[in-house]
Structure 1
Amino acid sequence: MSRRWFSISLVLALGALGAGGYLTWSRLARPERLNVIVLTVESFRADFIRPDITPNLLAAARSGSRFTNHHTLSAWTAPGVISVLTGTGPFEQGVQAQRQTVPLDWKTPLETLSDAGWRVAGLQSFMQIDTFRGLGLTVEPGEEPVPWLGRQVGATSPFVLWHHYLGTHLPYQPSPAHMPDLDALLPPGDSAARERMEAVRTRPTVRHGTVAFQPTDAPAVAALHAATYREFDDWFGAFWAFFRASELDRDTILVVTADHGDEHLERGHVGHASTTHAGHLYEELVHIPLFIWTPPPDGRRRDSDRGEDRGEGRVLDARTDHRDIMTTVMRRLGVKPELPLAGRDLLADPIGPGQPWMALTSKAGFQEEDPEAISEYRTAIAEGPWKLHLDHRDGAVAARRLFDLSADPGELRDLAALHPEIVDRLSAPLEAAFATRRVIGPGARSGGGDGEAPVWRTPAGSATVPFEAVAQGFRMEWTGAEAGDHVIQYEAGEGLLSLKGELDVRGTAREFGPIDQAYWKTFILPYGKVRLRVGLAGRSDRWSEWVVMTPVP
């Protein structure tokens, strides 16, 4: 997709509501060589930001800015994070499933900063997957953020670091110190309820219809997830202490937000699009936290920042969304992005009117079975108190639901039949944005030629795999053309707990890892085994034999 097409489609979508256009970059501040840390927290709901759950985060917020009405733009990780790092929305990105990427001709804000001398890094191995390709990240897996940041203190070049906290994803496995008393939260003697909670505690995905949840399960589900938030808050408390003691806070912009929230049975499910295959855009999935800390212009801490009592900070309740974050960062750095950004500068006073909030998600997110033929989407738009949801099936609008968030924040009373004029007014820009969205369809993958089916070199055959064997990374190799296009297919788990996908590879090898303990525990061990084969791209008859890798604790 060309930049011209991107600009036209965005203007069409925004113009239907009389939006005010792009942020003007004509009067930039003198460039500041500040560092940037973007910390995204997995599945983090805004309504769980409370003194009894996140005391460390709220204490730190006294010296920063908190945005209480912040929203993501999708219901699964990749589009949400891409919005944070690019300042664009899911309609423009086109990333609605695995193997999809942003347009490779985009000059992203991270690439602009890299060209201007910033070191742009991510430290986690999952950042190497295709959905995050093209963002401008240099992935340096294998290290926790605090040791890495410690080595950047006093460096001559500034840095941008993105870190994604994974411990709040399904399965909800809090440590014994934070484990809630499930017996007090579930009906006495209800063994079936305890089995349902065991699914929440052990499965990384809980596909809709696979567990017969009951409304009485909701408090226990919420308590389990809240316990993982408390563990994150403990982690953040230690991180914040390091951030202050190292004096990185004097020359670093820190952003804390989420990719999306999680459902706790509000619609009968637990999780989000990629884990339920029933994605939607209700508030429990899209209303998420946002905190921003910036150093004072002279790099000195204000008197109110030095002691325990640092005031209440800056709290804003205007609706904001992920497009605003990178716009704010680039504005503060004084660097003009080449990619058109539609967000606002959230550090301005006042921040000014925003663009309409419009969101898009596929139903199954990363786990869409055929990324080239997605048939069901959900879109939503919010203006003032009104929020409209559209269901899209096979290119047509199948349902419209309207809610008044001021009177019904839980979105339980559909008012579409009572206010058809509002439905029509909000539908117009939303349908225009959906119709002009970037679509990645058949033909995006090049052919792999007429060579022989690949043969595995590494691994040479099926095997058990302990964590120690992959902790520092691992390499897969196969026979074939060195410059050929290949596809690795994987099938993890079986039955109700299973995951299938593909990885595109140029050449005859793929490096993975290192892999940290949290990722191993959450996303690999629960599946029990992983089947792998490699083939020529575009050829259904050129596949290697399957190998089965069985992870062991």
Structure 2
Amino acid sequence: MARFTVFRWLSGSLAAVAGLTAVALLATSIDRAGGVPRYNLILLTVESFRADAVSPDLTPRLLALLDESNGVYFRNHRSVSAWTVPNVVALLSGVHPIRQGILSRGHGLAVQPENGLTGRDGINLAMSSFQPFALIDSYSGLGLVREPGGEMPLALAAMARASSPQGLWYHYLDTHLPHRPTLPDGTQPEPDTPGFDTAFGLPPPRDDLERARRLAVATQPVVPVDQFRFPAGDRQWVQAFYQSEIRAFDRWFEGFFDMFRRTGLARNTVLVVTADHGEELAEAGRVGHASTTREGVLSDAVLNVPMMIWTPDAGHRAALQTWSESGVVTDHVDLGGSLAALLGAPMTAYGVAPEVPVGLQPRDLTDSVVPAARYAFTSAAGFAEPDPERSAYLLLSREDLAGRQVVRLDWRAVMDRDVSLDDEFGSVAATLALPSAAGTSEGNAVLNGPIRWIWPRQSGDVTYPEIRDRSRIEWSGPADARYVLEYAAGTGALRMAGEIDVQGNGYAFGKIDEDYWRTFVVPYGQVRFRVRDPAGGAVSEWLTVRMK
């Protein structure tokens, strides 16, 4: 069964609405006082979307809609990290990854969002997310309301009917690993089907090892470098797998944009389309990005991403066009910092501290062009660090008209504030926020007695029908207490472990659809959980859940 349910969604207008609103509904309130314009906002981030994936061959519909609908295409745009979370946080807060303090899973935002969308007179933006991955701890510092399980068609319909501005963040996930060959009708041959990987005129695998690499790319959500490195000869089929998914996105976007126009939202809504980050496609032995290869890089393949903006504001459109034609490099921090301005609230009360280096500050894309070097920052394995409190290395890059420089930093030296870099690199590195837990366990009362599992009650197999309406684990103990949930998922190359601070005696993973379950959950095979009292004492037995 193919994971591309999108083609079923787009079979009718209501289904197109569903495809649009799967992730998040934002509620925006912009003060009318002083003639402040009122625009909706739709932010569409496309997983692993490289800049060179936008072409007449791969995205003809996207390019045609840009041309006929006066969209502005930024060809020199950059992501600011090699994995998803810091990029999304930058887009929604205006805070650069250097200053976020988010180096891996479980880390929380070290500063308040600074883009003026929250906590400011005249505009207040809150996000409600419908997708399970938005529940991760690192998004908790954004002031977001995360409500998994909402009705998708109703969300967009509500935006079209609302009397006050609304916002929507949608993360298109189907271009994430695994990159499975996708046919023009949206179907994906099962990887165990003979010839599944030769549907595009590709030659068959040269040997069993290449066959294993093809199967890994087509079935695994991560392909770490300690499992496979990809020789240059693999590029042909790796690109073909990935590009077939980009073509599928292009077909999806055509249906989405049709609904965007037919609901009337094009007349009063700012639409932004960009990527979280790019993707390596065997240029240097890796397929994926930091969280999937566990050997992150800051290269063109990962940092160069497209950005398109549609706005009903003619003045803003002219300013955006000037930026896009200037040749100046823009990045996700610029966009995140400009969201309030794009909605009609000028960046006059911007909250960035004056000591923050210029290269880490956002520039207002609705105002005059301001050239400035731009920076990117990543840990080695992003979300998938074997130990979230330590990375094999950190990378910091600086890009200006002369090109990009990348420096490698030692984790221990960074933690000890013992980093010595010359010139502007040094001033930027000095602002690096150290990671801290997204939650806190202070003040927790000592629990009495052992902690027992309530659901699942014991270890065993779990199938999708069992979690369709209950993707939550529960345990005994006071409902108002704090707990630490330890987890260890997968084995071998797919192993990942960590812990989550939890308020209350249960943890919800959000609404999970069957395709998500099959593609991103089942490949890990099993996950083990244990709950403990952070104040000491009570602890549960290990619970082993085998996903089937």
Q: Same fold (TM over 0.5)?
A: yes
Identity %: 36
Question: What is the alpha-carbon distance in structure 2 between the residues aligned to residue 353 and residue 50 of structure 1?
Answer: 28
Question: Are positions 1:429 and 2:430 aligned together?
Answer: no
Question: Are positions 1:543 and 2:539 aligned together?
Answer: yes
**Secondary structure of 1:358 counterpart:** strand
**Selected match of 1:528 from 517, 525, 530:** 525
After TM superposition, give the deviation of residue 445 of structure 1 in Å: 4.4
**Selected match of 2:45 from 40, 47, 61:** 40
Name the CA shift for 1:158/1:271 in 2 (closer, same or farther; >3 Å): same
Paired AA for residue 386 in structure 1? G
The aligned residue for residue 369 of structure 1 is 386
Q: Is the 8 A contact 1:40 1:256 kept in 2?
A: yes
Name the CA shift for 1:295/1:469 in 2 (closer, same or farther; >3 Å): farther
Question: What is the alpha-carbon distance in structure 2 between the residues aligned to residue 373 and residue 334 of structure 1?
Answer: 42
Q: Is the 8 A contact 1:29 1:334 kept in 2?
A: no
The residue correspondences of 1:301-380 to structure 2 (distance < 5 A) are 317-335=327-345, 336=347, 339-340=351-352, 342-348=361-367, 351-374=368-391, 376-380=393-397
Question: Are positions 1:93 and 2:100 aligned together?
Answer: yes
The aligned residue for residue 441 of structure 2 is 446
Question: What is the alpha-carbon distance in structure 1 between the residues aligned to residue 333 and residue 370 of structure 2?
Answer: 13
Question: What is the alpha-carbon distance in structure 1 between the residues aligned to residue 455 and residue 245 of structure 2?
Answer: 37
Provide the aligned length of Structure 1 versus Structure 2: 485
**Normalising by structure 2, what TM-score?**
0.81
Pick which of 193-202 and 388-397 moved more.
Answer: 388-397
**Secondary structure of 1:326 counterpart:** helix
Question: Are positions 1:476 and 2:473 aligned together?
Answer: yes
Question: What is the alpha-carbon distance in structure 2 between the residues aligned to residue 373 and residue 538 of structure 1?
Answer: 24
Question: What is the alpha-carbon distance in structure 1 between the residues aligned to residue 339 and residue 95 of structure 2?
Answer: 14
Question: Are positions 1:227 and 2:244 aligned together?
Answer: yes
Question: Deviations 1:55-93 (Å, cap 9, x if unpaired)?
Answer: 121112122110001001100000011111111211111
Question: What is the alpha-carbon distance in structure 2 between the residues aligned to residue 159 and residue 388 of structure 1?
Answer: 40
Question: Deviations 1:398-440 (Å, cap 9, x if unpaired)?
Answer: xxxxxxxxxxxxxxxxxxxxxxxxxx9x942223222321102
Q: Is the 8 A contact 2:279 2:289 kept in 1?
A: yes
Question: What is the alpha-carbon distance in structure 2 between the residues aligned to residue 538 and residue 285 of structure 1?
Answer: 42
Question: What is the alpha-carbon distance in structure 1 between the residues aligned to residue 240 and residue 62 of structure 2?
Answer: 19
Question: Are positions 1:245 and 2:262 aligned together?
Answer: yes
**Selected match of 1:58 from 63, 80, 83:** 63
After TM superposition, give the deviation of residue 459 of structure 1 in Å: 1.7
The residue correspondences of 1:99-498 to structure 2 (distance < 5 A) are 99-103=106-110, 105-106=112-113, 109-112=116-119, 116=123, 118=125, 120-143=127-150, 147-177=154-184, 181=198, 184-186=201-203, 189-296=206-313, 317-335=327-345, 336=347, 339-340=351-352, 342-348=361-367, 351-374=368-391, 376-396=393-413, 427-441=422-436, 445-446=440-441, 448=444, 450-451=446-447, 452-498=449-495
The aligned residue for residue 22 of structure 1 is none
Q: Is the 8 A contact 2:291 2:383 kept in 1?
A: yes
Q: Is the 8 A contact 1:145 1:163 kept in 2?
A: no
Pick which of 462-471 and 39-48 moved more.
Answer: 462-471
**Normalising by structure 1, what TM-score?**
0.80
After TM superposition, give the deviation of residue 263 of structure 1 in Å: 0.7
After TM superposition, give the deviation of residue 187 of structure 1 in Å: 6.1
Paired AA for residue 465 in structure 1? V
Name the CA shift for 1:456/1:61 in 2 (closer, same or farther; >3 Å): same
Pick which of 541-550 and 70-79 moved more.
Answer: 541-550
Instruction: Give the CA RMSD over aligned residues.
Output: 3.1
Question: What is the alpha-carbon distance in structure 1 between the residues aligned to residue 204 and residue 49 of structure 2?
Answer: 27
After TM superposition, give the deviation of residue 100 of structure 1 in Å: 0.9
Question: What is the alpha-carbon distance in structure 1 between the residues aligned to residue 133 and residue 116 of structure 2?
Answer: 21
Paired AA for residue 31 in structure 1? V
Question: What is the alpha-carbon distance in structure 2 between the residues aligned to residue 456 and residue 104 of structure 1?
Answer: 36
After TM superposition, give the deviation of residue 29 of structure 1 in Å: 8.2
**Secondary structure of 1:504 counterpart:** strand
Name the CA shift for 1:185/1:119 in 2 (closer, same or farther; >3 Å): same
After TM superposition, give the deviation of residue 141 of structure 1 in Å: 2.2
Question: What is the alpha-carbon distance in structure 2 between the residues aligned to residue 468 and residue 152 of structure 1?
Answer: 32
After TM superposition, give the deviation of residue 314 of structure 1 in Å: 6.8
**Secondary structure of 2:41 counterpart:** strand
Question: What is the alpha-carbon distance in structure 2 between the residues aligned to residue 470 and residue 114 of structure 1?
Answer: 42
Paired AA for residue 71 in structure 1? R
Name the CA shift for 1:442/1:332 in 2 (closer, same or farther; >3 Å): closer
Q: Is the 8 A contact 1:53 1:233 kept in 2?
A: yes
Q: Is the 8 A contact 1:200 1:206 kept in 2?
A: yes
Question: What is the alpha-carbon distance in structure 1 between the residues aligned to residue 390 and residue 209 of structure 2?
Answer: 38
After TM superposition, give the deviation of residue 188 of structure 1 in Å: 6.1
Structure 1, gaps ≥5 residues long? 1-27, 303-310, 398-423
Question: What is the alpha-carbon distance in structure 1 between the residues aligned to residue 34 and residue 327 of structure 2?
Answer: 26
